[in-house]
Amino acid sequence: MAPSEPSRRRAGRPRSAEADAAIMEATREALVEVGWSKLTVGHVAARAGVAKTTLYRRWANKGELVVHAVAALFDELELPDCGSLRADIEFVVLAFAGLLQRPGTNASLMAVVAESTHDTVLREHIREAIVERQKRLVLQGRQRAQARGELPAASADPAEDAQLVDMIFDVIAGAVVHRTLVSAEPVDAEWAGRFTSLFLHGLAAASSP
């Protein structure tokens, strides 16, 4: 299946939530077992118990299918109100790290990111389906902190405000992904607390005894 622009949902019979869930799970399991290069639509369809035409109607290519399978996992992330900005950040850091440590998540994410290094369409689809969607957690946490008086109101300049949201997301997600998947070091409560101190108060405060 050749790379193509992310497809729009095609007309036809209503989609089955159960079938979608089975396909997403089958895709992640297959990636863990056989890897990106050997993964085929037929393999996923057989494992999920659906016809190959079901997959072809919903996803334009293997890359898009895998991105959706990974995105479905990240959509599970939630940010309950933990009572303070510090507690909210520590919670989402630990929840994100826990998700990344699941075999189906890290194998799928690393496979699709590696493939995207030479597929610009796939890279854009990752940005749209995963990165942009998960910025909802930054927006939610910041709005709560603003309501508590812990953070100032958003900038009156939408572009400037969007850049700030991007930076917050990049710092938190980048640190956790690097720690978990690149360094292969634990993200525990102590690390989450030290990271949050650095994030909120800067290097001098985080280095204090």
Question: Lowest-confidence range among 29-43, 79-93, 181-195?
Answer: 29-43
Condensed to tens digits (0 to 9), the pLDDT of residues 85-119 reads: 999 999 999 999 999 998 778 888 888 888 899 88
Condensed to tens digits (0 to 9), the pLDDT of residues 50-98 reads: 888 888 888 888 888 989 999 999 999 999 999 999 999 999 999 999 9
What interhelical angle do 17-38 and 62-74 show, nearest 10?
Answer: 120
What's the CA gap between 153 and 202, in Å, rounded?
A: 20
Secondary structure (3-state) at 3: coil
What's the CA gap between 35 and 32, in Å, rounded?
A: 6
Structure token pair of residue 154: 């958003």
User: Residues of 127-160 as b/e, b for ≥16 C-beta within 10 angstroms?
Assistant: eebbeeebbebbebbbebbeeeeeeeebeeeeee
CA geometry: angle 25, 29, 30, nearest 5 deg: 115
What's the CA gap between 116 and 125, in Å, rounded?
A: 9
DSSP state of 151: S
Q: What is the pTM of this model?
A: 0.82
